[in-house]
Amino acid sequence: MRHELPYARPGQVIGLLGGSFDPAHQGHAHITREGLRRFGLDRVWWLVTPGNPLKANGPAPIADRMARAREVMQHPRVCITDIERRTGTRFTAETLQALQFLYPGVRFVWLMGADNLADFHRWERWEWIMENVPVGVIARPGDRVAARMSPAAKKYQDARLPGWKARLLPFATAPAWSLINVPMVDISSSQIRARGDW
């Protein structure tokens, strides 16, 4: 299995953007480019999930979603991967544990949109994630206030790095998180599905 996984060497900083990407769109690409730049990441891996445990309806076939993601996100420092399918992990905490085992010495940063931080306390073992991997939060339209007032933000308010220190996040000891404000691209996968474009 190891030869089917992305390459990373010890000391590298890899941002991880997980999701169903059903479908991938320019909003995903936008926050990825901003994450690379603002958090000082060496690379970003998109973790295209087999299915989202928090969503009742299953996504489109993973091969279709991977192909669409590769069309949308063409960047030399971004890798589209189905790591969760290959490792057999279902929840983010399990995936992060597997990656830490498979890639000793690599620094991982979990990336998410601010909308996800608002619901983060509903994730399986969310406190373990916060306490083991730095978290980079990227603001999207209308989500900043809800993210800042979320149970996760309140519980870990003392672990927050201000946006102007965001490049230090990969080297901070967890728990550590930073919310950055970026130019907005107001589009979502659900809007694309509703239009029938996917």
Percentage of the residues of the chain whose pLDDT score is greater than 90: 65
pLDDT for the residue 198: 38
Distance (Å, rounded) from C-alpha 145 to C-alpha 114? 9
Asked whether residue 196 carries a pLDDT value surpassing 60, the answer given is no
In one-letter notation, the amino acid at residue 87 is: T
Instruction: Assess contact for 40 and 69: CB atoms under 8 A.
Output: no
Residues near 178 by beta carbon (within 8 Å), at least 6 away in sequence: 39, 134, 135, 136, 137, 160, 161, 162, 163, 165, 166, 169
Q: Pick from 147, 169, 144, 160: which is nearest to 39 by CA?
A: 169
Q: Pick from 29, 19, 174, 50: which is nearest to 109 by CA?
A: 174
Tens of pLDDT along 155-173? 999 999 999 999 999 999 9
Residue 121: enclosing H or E segment and its boundaries?
Answer: none
pTM over 0.85: yes
In one-letter notation, the amino acid at residue 79 is: C
Instruction: Assess contact for 181 and 139: CB atoms under 8 A.
Output: yes
pLDDT tier at 55, thresholds 50, 70, 90: low
Structural domains of the chain, ranges and CATH numbers in brackets? 2-195 (3.40.50.620)
Residues near 14 by beta carbon (within 8 Å), at least 6 away in sequence: 8, 41, 42, 43, 44, 45, 103, 106, 107, 108, 109
Distance (Å, rounded) from C-alpha 28 to C-alpha 196? 19
Sign of CA dihedral 125, 128, 130, 136: negative
